[in-house]
Amino acid sequence: MRPNARSRGCRYSASTPSSPADLLRLAGTLHGRIRMYGEPEAPRFDGGISFAQAQFRVPMIGTTFRLAGDTVRLDGRRVAFDRFTLLAPNGRPFTIDGTVDLTDLARTTADLQLRASDFQFLDVARKQRTAVYGTGYLDLNASVRGPLDALTVRGRLALLRGTELTYVMQDSPTEIRNESQDVVTFVSFRDETQEPAPETEAAPVRIGGMDLQLEID
């Protein structure tokens, strides 16, 4: 079996399927060439795909991120990321390095490293009527490993000076009328006038099938 697929420039624009909250919107152009070979029950892939003028928007936080023109390589039974980059509104990169192993398609596994410095993850004016508004900046150094349905995430996350965000609570069944009770504001995550608290090892937290342990500054 040796089917080939080639795209010189496929335009796409889509939202995540079956999602009433419209979690993610994609737009841009996809280029690539992929060759599939081997046995049907254990196929192998060679080639790569890249993006041009591509971006994705997260409607809940009203923020758009750009995809750099990096190529995602397919090498046998692995998908390889070599400093694959997402760009924040302030132009700072979020990079992904590592591989996704497709040897067992029923148990796809990842071994990825995520890094960001002064990455603006939120840039929303209040008038946009999103669930969250304000500005947010972070540093991140984390690893993501294991099967996709039971990932283990370890690393360090720092929320930086200039982060100020407000979460607007959605209407409750009791229909709270006092708007001031529907707003939660987070300001000044780091108080530099106080002595730092003694460091303690964070306990892992499980979210769905994910084992999450991040040190947050």
Q: Tokens in use for 217?
A: 């500054």
Pick the residue with more confidence: 184 or 88? Answer: 88
CB burial of residue 72 (10 Å; 0-12, 13-18, 19+): middle
pLDDT at 22: 65
From residue 113, alpha-carbon distances to 15, 32, 139, 140, 152 in Å are: 26, 24, 13, 10, 12
Q: How many domains does the chain have?
A: 1
Distance of CA 63 to the CA centre of its chain: 12
Domain that holds residue 167: 4-194+202-216
Structure confidence by residue, pLDDT tens digits, 64-98? 999 998 999 999 999 999 999 999 999 999 999 99
Structure confidence by residue, pLDDT tens digits, 105-156? 889 999 999 999 999 999 988 876 777 889 999 999 999 999 999 999 999 9
Task: Please give the DSSP secondary-structure letter assigned to residue 125.
Answer: -
Pick the residue with more confidence: 6 or 98? Answer: 98
Q: Tokens in use for 43?
A: 């196929």
Strand partners, 170: none
